[in-house]
Amino acid sequence: MLRYCLSFLTAFCFTAVFAQSDAGFPSLIPMPAQVQPANGQFQLKQQVSFSMGPGSADADFIYRQLAEKLKTAAGINTVKATGEQGDFRFDLIRPADASIGNEGYRLQVTEKGVRVSANEPAGFFYALQTIWQLLPAEIESKSPAQDVKWSLPYVSITDKPRFGWRGLMLDVARHFFTKQQVKDFIDNMVKYKYNRLHLHLTDDQGWRIEIKSLPKLTAVGAFRAERTGRWGEFKKQTPEEPRTYGGFYTQEDIRELVKYAGERFVTILPEIDIPGHSMALLAAYPELSCTPTPYQVNVGDRFMIWPGNGTFYGTIDNNLCPANEKVYETLDKIFTEVAQLFPYEYIHMGGDETYKGFWEKSSEIKALMKRENLKDQHEVQSYFVKRVGKIIASKGKKMMGWDEIMEGGLAPGAAVMSWQGEKGGIEAARLKHPVVMSPNIYTYVDLYQGDPLAEPPTYGMVRLKKSYEFNPVPKGVDSTYILGGQANLWSERLHTVRHAEYMLWPRGWSVAESVWSPAAAKNWNDFVRRAESHFRRADMAETNYSRSMYDPIVSVSKVQDSLVQVSLATEVEAITIHYSFDEFYPDRFYPAYSGPLVFPKGASSLKLVTYRNGRQVGRQINLPLEELKKRIRK
């Protein structure tokens, strides 16, 4: 793991950064370790030259990336130069500079051009992402932009990541994303220096990876009846319904994705989620359940019930049976092929949200508990996890799982991905196990990011400012055991790429800064300034994103005579909230919020909009009185 030690000199540089954080300062995300801007601009001509120092031939990919993007967006031709000349010059540092590690870089823009030095090609690649952000936003355009002054500001940057694990999880099981869509996802994540793509490949709603020795996994498990509407309220599919929705990645697809990601310095972590979340697997091989019954791939109808307080129960047994030896034989086949496809050292085995009520009734489980001296169902799960760990180890891999794999005793050598807040990660680190921090309170980017009455339906809330507070090293934890951090994009409610992008950005930018930048470099107000600049870049790239950070935060309470009182706040500074009770949507000529509002008698809704400097920045939001009353009851 890469750890960052803050020196007095670096701290001085951070001070210089924030003292100059104005409209003219480079809007870089994530914020580099050290940035020293200077006066002046390096102007790009219609043709620019490129050169690399000795020993850099294996980084030729950088040249292709540079040439393709400059041509596409700016109509600028790029040619290779000889010797040490070149408008863009990339040099390997020899001997290596230990202070910037394998992914760090030094970048200078002067009147002579752009100079990059790094220990490894990965540093070149991350420097290139910074170069794109130094250029005008039109560099993200898919066709040559007109009337653009193509220049880079003079600047000196020394940069390296805070953590070696900078991850995004994409759930391709609940809703299938094509191979090309996954490639596009990779292209978008590397812009912000992410380097781990966690693919959630299996779940109750789909099995997305070809296993040649078990063909029914995809023939049966990859497809289901199509549904439109609200997740959890869908009707169950009937036996005669055509299974028209779904898909899977062939093994050739996986190899292609691994290669594509690797060229962009991204490692893919595969997840096979077991023993729970296995209904698609059981649809193909129902004999692997402790409750043998005809199974079908779930279409999004509710079968897991969450009464609250973190408890849940299932109406269908969606678990593999830990007492069935055929389960381990099947998993051995699966992990044999998965290990051959993915070169990364870790395989994720899930382990989350295993409802054990059906196990408690199983005679097979009771016999297993007696035979193995297991005192409760947590130890039954631990027995399963430890056996899976041995299978994965036999393939030359290490096992990772969600923090529930700690229940009943953590398997030797297992790494923990902590999602239920920070508690699991803290405990795993105390036990000296590797940890990836992914707490839902900061990094679950499928949750509400604005008021639920203005957002697509989901559950829970993680506003942008909350996600920006993410620190992968909780207080009192030995950072030696923290590999890094990760944001998770679950796709139960995400039917399209546009919806997925809306949920991910800009929260994905905030998490990127949390895992790349030194903690001392983070500054919320400055991040907002930079994020606004990246909205323009996303527009040029035709990438969707949310502007919910401008919308009011609504709190509801009762006052005297049971009147409903609404308090409003904003997470962005210099925002004015205008409101109306008269059924007409307000603008800046309506009253500005200055204190708690009490619903007048006869009013049925409160309407809100936000402005900054006389310009509308937020959405028109309608808050019906009856909906607000429900929040009081909750």
| Positions marked catalytic | 203, 277, 353
Diameter over CA atoms, the chain: 83
Tokens describing residue 87: 């408008």
Cα distance between residue 384 and residue 520, in whole Å: 42
Q: Integer distance in angstroms from the first to the last C-alpha of the chain?
A: 43
Phi, psi of 215 (to 5 degrees): -65, -25
Cα distance between residue 187 and residue 128, in whole Å: 13
Q: Exposed, middle or buried: residue 211 (CB in 10 Å: 0-12, 13-18, 19+)?
A: buried
Three-state SS sequence of 493-549 = CCCCHHHHHHHHCCHHHHHHHHHHCCHHHCCHHHHHHHHHHHHHHHHHHCCCCCCHH
Task: Please say whether the beta carbons of 537 and 140 come within 8 A.
Answer: yes
Q: Name residue 90's amino acid.
A: F
Q: What stretches of 20-144 show up as alpha helix (H) in DSSP?
A: 60-69, 121-134
Cα distance between residue 546 and residue 557, in whole Å: 28
Using only C-alpha atoms, what is the Rg of the chain?
26
DSSP string over 355-390: --HHHHT-HHHHHHHHHHT--SHHHHHHHHHHHHHH
